Structure 1
C-alpha cells in the first residue's frame, strides 16, 4: 500500500490568510475606537446640556418663585380646613422669600449648582401637587374624606418644609453669597407706593432666609426706613404677611445686634396708636421685658422706649406688670451701673405704669421709694435728679400714705438740696414736687419752714428766671394760705417789697398771684403796718387801678388790698393823701362796689374834709 503523501502547502495562500486576519483585527479596533469616540462625544454633549441647564439657573429661580407666589394667591380661595392652609401658606411665604432673594441678587448665568437645580425642579413639582390639593379642597366634596385631606395637607406641608431646609443648605454652602450681599436701594422721595412695598418685601425676604449678617443689615435698613417715612410702618403692619410677628421674633434672638435693631424697629412702630394692638397681639410685651432683663444696655434702652409708648394705654400697663415688667424696671433703676439713657427710659415707663393705682402700690411694696430716694441723693447729674423727682412726684399724687413714706425717707431734705443746684430745670421740678408732697400736711409745712424753705423762695422771687420765679410765687401763695404765723414770718423776712416789684412783671399771671399773696400778707396787722410805712406801696397799688396802665392787675385784688388797708387810721390817711386817689374815685363813679365802699370809709373818717378837698380839686 503506497505510503500516503503529505498535504501540499501553498505559501501564497498562507500569506493571504494572514493578511485577512490582520485586516479583520484592524476593522474591529477601528469600530471600537469609533464607538468610544462616539460615547465620549455623547458624554461631552450631555455634560454641556447639564452645564447649560445650570447656566440658566436664574431663569429657573424666577420661574420657581413665580409659581410659588401664584400658589400663595390661589390658596386664599380655599375655605375648608383654614388652619391647615394657613400653616401651608406661611411655609410657602418663607420658601418664596428665599427664592425671591436668590433670584434678585445674582447676575444672569451665575448659578452652577446641581443641588440648586434639583431643588428648583422639586419645588415646581411640589407646587403642582399643592395646586391639585387647592382644587380638591375648593370642590364641595373630595375623595377620601376630611381625614384623608388632613393627612394629605400635613404631607405637603412637610414637603415644603423640607425644601425650605434644602434652600437654607444651599445658602450655607456659599452658592448664593452674592445674593446675600445685595440689598435693594431704598426708594427716593416721591417713590410710588408699589416701590415702597417692593422694598419692604425684599427686606422681609432676607429676614426670613438670611444668615445673621444678612438679617442684621436687613433689620438696620428696615429701622432706617421706618424712621424716614410713616408709610413704611403701615406696609409692615398691614401689608406684609406676618411682618409684625417676624420683627417681634428677633427680640428673642441670641444675637445682640439683631435684638437691638428689632427693639428699635418695634419702638418706632409703637409710636403709632393704630399699630400698638398688632404689636401686643404678636406678644411684644413679654419679649421686650425679656430684653430688659438680659439684653445689652442699648437693647434695654430701646426696649424701654418701646414700652413707654405701649404703656400710654392702661390695658398694656397691666400686661407689663403681669409679665414682671415692674420688677425688671425697678432693678434697672436700682443698678448703679445703669446709664443715663437707660434709666431715663425706664423711669418714663414706670411713670406710665403708676397711673394705675394697684400697680403704683405694688411699686412701693417693691421698694420704689427707697430706690429713687437713693438716686436723688447719690446721683448728682441733672438728668438723674430730674427723672427721680418726676417719678416721685407722680408717685405721691393723691396718695397720702405714699407722701408720708417719702417724707419719712428724707424726701423734703433731698428736694431742698436740689433747689440749691445750678440746674433751673431741676429746681422747677423740685418746686412742683414740694408742692405736691408738702402743702397738704401741716407737719410737712413745718418741716419745710424748719429747713429754710422760705429763704429759698424769697431768693428765687428776687433772682429766679421767669419760670422758676412763677413756681416760687405759687409756693409763696400756698405758704401764705397756710397760717397767720407763716404770714408773719414772710413779712418779717421781706416778702412784701419783693411782691410789690412783681406787680410790674411782664407776666399777667405773675402780677395776679403777687397781688393775691400781698392781700393775704396784709390781712395780718403786723404786715399791714409794714406795707403802710412805705408810701410807694400805696401809690403803686392806686396807680395800677387806672385802665390805661400797661401792666394792669385785676381790680378785684387791688381793691381787696386797699379795703384791708382802710382798717387802720394810717392806711386811710395814706390812701387819701396819695396823688393817685382819683383812680379810685373814677371806679366809684362807675358803680364798682368795692371802690364805693373804700371811698365811703375814707369820707367817713376824721380826714373827711381833706378827702372832700381832694375830690373837688
Structure 2
C-alpha cells in the first residue's frame, strides 16, 4: 500500500512543481496588486524549493506528504485562477480581489509551514540534501533572487545537512559575486536566520560565521548586522565554536568594531574577556590570535576597556606575542601595544619593565626572521613609545638598536627605510651626546643619500635630521672632511630650483639650512660662491636664500677685517 501511495504521489509532485514554476513566471507579468503578488511570489518560491527537494527522495516517503501535495495542488489551481483574472483585469471589485489574494497567500504560507513540519519529523535522508544549481554569471537579477530564496527555504525547512549545504552554497555565491550579498541583506528575515544559526550545531555555526564575515566586509551593511543584534551570538561563537568559526567570528567583530560606537556592545556581551582568553591561551592558531588582537586594538579607545586590559596584566601577554613566529600575530600585537601604551604612562611603564622595548628591537634586528612588515611596525612602535623619558631611551640605546637602525636605513626595503628614517630623525633631535654618538656611528652619509629621494617628505626628514647632527661641532668637522658632501648638496640645490621653476614643490629651504650651518668654513663659502648659486637667487624673493647670502656677506666681511687687523 505504501509503495502504491508513493508511486501515485510522484506525478502529483511533478505537477505541483510545474504549476508553481508557471505561477512564478506569470506573477512577474501582473501589474495589478503588485505588493500582494510580491508576497504570493515569495511564498511560491519557498514552496517550490521545498517541493523540488522531494523529487530527490530515495526512501522513507511519508504518507502525510501525499495528502499535503494534493492540498497544495488545489491551492495552486485557485492561485492560477486569481492570476489569470488579475492579468486580464476581469475581477468584480478591488476589495474582494484583495481579500482573495490575502486568503491564497495565507494558504500558501500554511503549506510551507506544514512541509517544514514534515521535514522536521526526519523524512529527509542524508543524501537528500541537494541544492539547486546556481545561475550563471550572466543570469538576470530575478534568477539570482530565486536561487537565494531557494537556499533560504532549505535553511528553514531542511535537516541539519541540508541547512549546512545551503549555507555553503550561499557563501560560495557571496564570495564570487557581491550582488548575492546585497540580496541576502535585502531579503526579509534572511540576516536574522543567519544570526540564529550562530547558536546552532557546529557545522552550521561555522558556515553562518563565514556568512557574517562576508556581509561585514561592506561598510553599508554593517549597520544592518548591528541592528539585528549580531554581536552577542558572535561572542558566543568566540567562546564555544570550533577554530574556523572562531576565526570568522573574530574577523567579523574586527570589521564591526572599526566604528568605536560598537565597542560597548562587544564588552557588554563578555567579548573582551573572551578575546583576552584567546590571546592568553597558547592552543589557538595565529589567525585567531591575530584577529582577536585586531578587535582589542579597536576597543582600547574606550578608557574603561583599556583600564580593564591593563588590570588583567595583558600588557605582558601582548609582549610575549611580539615574539611569535606568525607575521600576522607579530604585526597585530605590536599595533595593539602601540594603541594601548602610546597615551598611557602606566601601561608604557609596564611595557618597559616587562622587556617590551627589547622585544621590539629584536623584531627590528636585520638578522631576525621577522618580515619587512613586522620590522616596519616595530620601528613605528619604537618611534611612538620609546621617547617618553630618559629611562626609556637608555633602555633603547643599550639594546644595540643603533646598529640595527643604521643597517635598515642602509639596506632595508623602502617601507622599512622610511620608518627607520623617521626614528633616526627623532633620535637626531635628542641632546648633544646622542647626536655625537650617531655622528660617530656613521648616520650622516646615510642621511645624505636620502637628500635625493623621490619623495619630498623623505627629503625633508633627511635634511632636518642632518641639520641636527651637523649642529654638533664634532659632527660638522667630520662632515666637512668629505669634499663631495658640499658639492653634492649644491648640485641638489640646483635640481630643487629646477623643480620650483616647474611649479613642483621643492625642498630648497632644508638644503639651505644645511649650508647655513656650514658657512663658518672658508672652503664651504668659496664652493658656494663658485657654484653660481648666489647670482641666481639674488633675483628671487626667497627669504631662506637671502638669509644665506646675508650670512655669507657677514662672514666675508669678518675675513677682510680679520686680514686687515693682523696685517
TM-score scaled to structure 1, two decimals?
0.74
1:168 paired residue number: 119
1:595 paired residue number: 548
Match of 2:517 among 545, 560, 564: 564
Structure 2: gaps spanning 5 or more residues: 78-94, 97-106, 501-505
Distance in 1 (alpha carbons) for counterparts of 2:9 and 2:176: 43
Deviation track 1:268-321 (CA, whole Å, cap 9, x = no partner) reads 111122222222233311111111111111110111111111111222221111
**Residues 499 and 515, structure 1, Cα contact 8 Å, conserved in 2:** yes
**Residues 100 and 205, structure 1, Cα contact 8 Å, conserved in 2:** yes
**Residues 351 and 391, structure 1, Cα contact 8 Å, conserved in 2:** yes
Q: CA deviation at 1:218?
A: 0.7
Range with bigger deviation, 525-534 or 425-434: 525-534
2:100 paired residue number: none
Distance in 2 (alpha carbons) for counterparts of 1:459 and 1:550: 33
Matches within 5 A, 1:384-403: 384-403=329-348
Taking a change above 3 Å as real, the CA distance of residues 472 and 48 of structure 1, as seen in their structure-2 partners, is: closer
2:261 paired residue number: 315
Taking a change above 3 Å as real, the CA distance of residues 275 and 500 of structure 1, as seen in their structure-2 partners, is: closer
Taking a change above 3 Å as real, the CA distance of residues 595 and 195 of structure 1, as seen in their structure-2 partners, is: same
Q: CA deviation at 1:429?
A: 0.9
Verify: 1:198 aligned to 2:143, yes or no.
Answer: no
**Residues 120 and 158, structure 2, Cα contact 8 Å, conserved in 1:** no
2:360 paired residue number: 415
TM-score scaled to structure 2, two decimals?
0.80
CA RMSD of aligned residues (A): 4.1
2:533 paired residue number: 583
Quick check: which has more Rg, 1 or 2? Answer: 1
Deviation track 1:555-604 (CA, whole Å, cap 9, x = no partner) reads 212222222223x3xx1344225684422343245353223213312421
Matches within 5 A, 1:325-340: 325-340=271-286
Distance in 1 (alpha carbons) for counterparts of 2:341 and 2:467: 31
1:209 paired residue number: 157
Secondary structure of 2:138's partner? Answer: coil
**Residues 250 and 291, structure 2, Cα contact 8 Å, conserved in 1:** yes
2:82 paired residue number: none
Deviation track 1:326-364 (CA, whole Å, cap 9, x = no partner) reads 111111111111111111221221122223333223222
Structure 1: gaps spanning 5 or more residues: 1-43, 78-88, 129-137, 140-155, 611-617
Taking a change above 3 Å as real, the CA distance of residues 206 and 605 of structure 1, as seen in their structure-2 partners, is: same
2:15 paired residue number: 59
Distance in 1 (alpha carbons) for counterparts of 2:203 and 2:361: 43
1:251 paired residue number: 198
Distance in 2 (alpha carbons) for counterparts of 1:182 and 1:203: 10
Match of 1:404 among 329, 349, 360: 349
Matches within 5 A, 1:42-191: 52=8, 55-59=11-15, 97=46, 100-103=49-52, 105-106=54-55, 114-120=63-69, 163=114, 166-168=117-119, 172-174=122-124, 180-191=128-139
Taking a change above 3 Å as real, the CA distance of residues 48 and 447 of structure 1, as seen in their structure-2 partners, is: closer
Matched residue pairs, number? 522
Distance in 1 (alpha carbons) for counterparts of 2:316 and 2:71: 65
Taking a change above 3 Å as real, the CA distance of residues 103 and 524 of structure 1, as seen in their structure-2 partners, is: closer
1:536 paired residue number: 484
Distance in 2 (alpha carbons) for counterparts of 1:288 and 1:461: 44
Taking a change above 3 Å as real, the CA distance of residues 609 and 542 of structure 1, as seen in their structure-2 partners, is: farther
**Residues 237 and 246, structure 2, Cα contact 8 Å, conserved in 1:** yes
Taking a change above 3 Å as real, the CA distance of residues 369 and 224 of structure 1, as seen in their structure-2 partners, is: same
**Residues 588 and 599, structure 1, Cα contact 8 Å, conserved in 2:** no
Q: CA deviation at 1:112?
A: 7.2
Verify: 1:225 aligned to 2:173, yes or no.
Answer: yes
Distance in 2 (alpha carbons) for counterparts of 1:590 and 1:607: 27
Distance in 2 (alpha carbons) for counterparts of 1:480 and 1:454: 12
Q: CA deviation at 1:365?
A: 2.3
Range with bigger deviation, 215-224 or 393-402: 393-402
Distance in 2 (alpha carbons) for counterparts of 1:432 and 1:225: 40
Distance in 1 (alpha carbons) for counterparts of 2:387 and 2:494: 36
Deviation track 1:516-563 (CA, whole Å, cap 9, x = no partner) reads 112111222222222233322223223332247889972212222222
Range with bigger deviation, 258-267 or 110-119: 110-119
Distance in 2 (alpha carbons) for counterparts of 1:586 and 1:608: 27
Secondary structure of 1:191's partner? Answer: coil
**Residues 573 and 607, structure 1, Cα contact 8 Å, conserved in 2:** no
1:364 paired residue number: 310
Distance in 2 (alpha carbons) for counterparts of 1:215 and 1:126: 27
Distance in 1 (alpha carbons) for counterparts of 2:224 and 2:533: 67
Distance in 2 (alpha carbons) for counterparts of 1:425 and 1:50: 65
